[in-house]
Amino acid sequence: MKIGFIGAGPVAQTIARHTLSVGHHVVLSNSRGPESLAALVAELGAGAAAGTAKEAAEQDLVVLATKWWNVQAALFSVGNWKGKILVDTTNRVASIEPLALGDITGRTSSEIVADLAPGARVVKAFNTVPMSWISDFSRSKPKTAFFLSGDDADAKKVVSDLIEEIGFYSLDLGSLAIGGRLQQTGGPLVGVDLTFNKRFVLPTID
């Protein structure tokens, strides 16, 4: 697949590295233009390119990885979202100091993302764990479980397959309204580490 990233910070870079390692191509974008990403794409190596947000959104699958307060501008800069699979990795943090959550008046943050990208098939994923937990890009990395939520079954299948392909487990929580609430910031599943990396040896009973 060709995977576009709106954002080029730790989330975009980490997911890009995992997907590159299994042979996908990536297009990264930021707010400062493709030239500012030259060193990063050179470091990421074969299969990585820089583009505008619009170009990132033309890829087979699009990952939204901006700060919450940049989400609206980023999504509006693309324009046409009809039919696109949009993976929402964002957390609704409105301010870091003091820490404050965005006012989303009862709707889940990914429902807001879906409202701002009309026609997109939004899948919430990758938002519940710090990227430092999944920065082992080797084949022998621990298997972490990622939650995902969405209203389009086909889009969820594409994202779920990708999560499994890059070496993790995927756990479908249901719709953006229900699953999205469980996995968004402020919900019970944020920061939950479901990493299966231990070998349990059962004692033998004579």
Interacting residues with ligand NAP (CB under 6 A): 6-12, 29-32, 53, 65-68, 70, 73-74, 77, 89-91, 93, 127, 130-131
Over its C-alpha atoms, the chain yields an Rg (Å, rounded) of 17
Token pair 């430092």 is at which residue?
Answer: 132
Q: Smallest distance from the beta carbon of 26 to ligand NAP, in angstroms? A: 13
Q: Smallest distance from the beta carbon of 82 to ligand NAP, in angstroms? A: 19
Q: Please, what's the b/e burial string for 135-145 (b: 16 or more CB within 10 A of its CB; e: otherwise)?
A: eeeeeebeebb
- Closer residue to ligand NAP (CB): 118 or 130: 130
Distance CA 90, CA 128 (A): 9
Structure tokens at 110: 């990914």
Structure tokens at 43: 């470091």
- Closer residue to ligand NAP (CB): 98 or 203: 98
Q: Smallest distance from the beta carbon of 35 to ligand NAP, in angstroms? A: 11
Q: Smallest distance from the beta carbon of 19 to ligand NAP, in angstroms? A: 15
Sign of CA dihedral 25, 50, 87, 12: positive
- Closer residue to ligand NAP (CB): 68 or 168: 68
- Closer residue to ligand NAP (CB): 19 or 89: 89
Structure tokens at 54: 């619009």
Quick one: 29 exposed, middle or buried, by C-beta within 10 A (0-12, 13-18, 19+)?
Answer: buried
Q: Smallest distance from the beta carbon of 56 to ligand NAP, in angstroms? A: 8
- Closer residue to ligand NAP (CB): 78 or 203: 78
